[in-house]
Chains A and B, each alone.
Chain A
Amino acid sequence: MKKFALWQRSKDGSLIRVEEASLELEEDLESWIENDPDLLQKGLKIVGRQLHVEAGPLDLLAIDPLGRWVVIELKRGDLDRKTVAQALDYERCFSALSAQELRSKLADYLTKHRLNLDELLEQRGAIESLDPKQRQILVVLVGAGAAPGLEDFAKHLYEKFKVPISMVLFQVFEPARGDLLLVREIREIETTLPSKDELKSKVSLSAMTTQYGTQELLQRAVDTAKDLGLHVRPWKTSVMFAPASQGSRCLFTV
């Protein structure tokens, strides 16, 4: 990640450099994210931890505000190609789970955290994603840094296999007095060309808006966003509106 340095201003006006601490406690990071998923992305809901799939235990599983499933893989140090390969293997196994297998694997976690999967998916317009053919999956890798060229590698994988991969990097500081400070950097792969899924999604979205008579309203939203220079991104049953500078950050979804 971009390396940051921090200074703390003391009461007498002098500056004290804040020492950097190492991000070694993978389990701590997992718990922090589980307790506050906003660390990764606003509106993320964790629905599974250490979920066993054929490739091994998946660190965290979440659903994003657009109803997409998010496979989260954590690494103690820097992210590298092995981390990406491992996460894609988890993603492959997760994408193959039937609705029944998925429900069964998530049951204990959901009960423990008093979450209702159907309600959650209904609210995010993604109840159909229980069906593996309809499931949209993102991969988020979390670590302290990224190996050189990893972003290009992730972009290449996206272009080949259409699995969006994001990286969230944390740097930890330990002030002489007070709690730890976390600095976060988000690296997302820009997906400028519509994927086959997105093209298909336009078709199903169009059918849905026709069915509910909301075509004109949606068009109005798209026109307004285009006038304002916002990024418009269609998904299977929704359209996401994002800032022009970062097409994967959701301002609002219709």
Chain B
Amino acid sequence: MSVETFAEFFPLPRAAVIERIGREGYKKFTEREFTKFLDGVKALVLSARASSDAKKEA
């Protein structure tokens, strides 16, 4: 998982990415942790889009 790529493309502060989906690197997940990770990805992408839309409107 690459924090940098998330932060670059969405764009988001690195701290926000880490808070949602954890630190950079390789991870071994349980099913529960993996679900939480996917929820984090979803939340990150949606919040980045919402913020981008708000900027456009402003």
A interface list, Cβ under 8 A from B: 42-43, 65, 123-124, 217, 220-221, 224-225, 227-228, 230, 243, 245-246, 249-253
Smallest CB separation, B9 vs chain A (Å) = 4
- The answer to whether B9 and A246 touch across the interface, beta carbons within 8 angstroms, is yes
Additional A-B contact list (16), CB under 8 Å, known A217-B31, A249-B9, A250-B2: A43-B2, A123-B26, A217-B34, A220-B38, A221-B38, A224-B38, A224-B42, A243-B10, A246-B9, A249-B8, A251-B1, A251-B5, A251-B6, A251-B9, A252-B2, A252-B41
* Chain A hits for B1, CB < 8 A: 251-253
The A/B interface has a contact count, at CB < 8 Å, of: 44
State whether the Cβ of B45 lies closer than 8 Å to any Cβ in chain A.
yes
Which of A224, A227, A245 lies at the interface centre, i.e. has the most chain B CB atoms within 10 A of its CB? A224
Q: With A245-B9, A246-B9 in contact, do A65 and B42 touch (Cβ < 8 Å)? A: no
Q: Which of B5, B34, B45 contacts A228 (CB 8 A)?
A: B45
List the A residue with the shortest CB-CB distance to B9: A243
Size class of the B contact interface (CB-based, 8 Å): 10 to 19
* Chain B hits for A224, CB < 8 A: 38, 41-42
- The answer to whether B42 and A42 touch across the interface, beta carbons within 8 angstroms, is no
- The answer to whether B5 and A42 touch across the interface, beta carbons within 8 angstroms, is yes
- The answer to whether B5 and A250 touch across the interface, beta carbons within 8 angstroms, is yes
* Chain A hits for B46, CB < 8 A: 228
With the chains together, A27 CA to B26 CA distance in Å? 32
With the chains together, A42 CA to B8 CA distance in Å? 12
Q: What are 21 A-B interface contacts by the 8 Å CB criterion?
A: A42-B2, A42-B5, A220-B35, A221-B34, A221-B38, A224-B38, A224-B41, A224-B42, A225-B41, A228-B41, A228-B42, A228-B45, A243-B5, A243-B9, A245-B9, A251-B1, A251-B5, A251-B6, A251-B9, A252-B2, A252-B41
* Chain A hits for B42, CB < 8 A: 224, 227-228
With the chains together, A246 CA to B5 CA distance in Å? 11
* Chain B hits for A65, CB < 8 A: 2
* Chain A hits for B8, CB < 8 A: 249
With the chains together, A250 CA to B3 CA distance in Å? 10
* Chain B hits for A225, CB < 8 A: 41
Residue-by-residue, is B19-56 near A (CB-CB < 8 Å gives 1, otherwise 0)? Answer: 00100001000010011001001100110000000000
With the chains together, A251 CA to B1 CA distance in Å? 6
Smallest CB separation, A220 vs chain B (Å) = 6
With the chains together, A123 CA to B6 CA distance in Å? 21
* Chain A hits for B21, CB < 8 A: 252
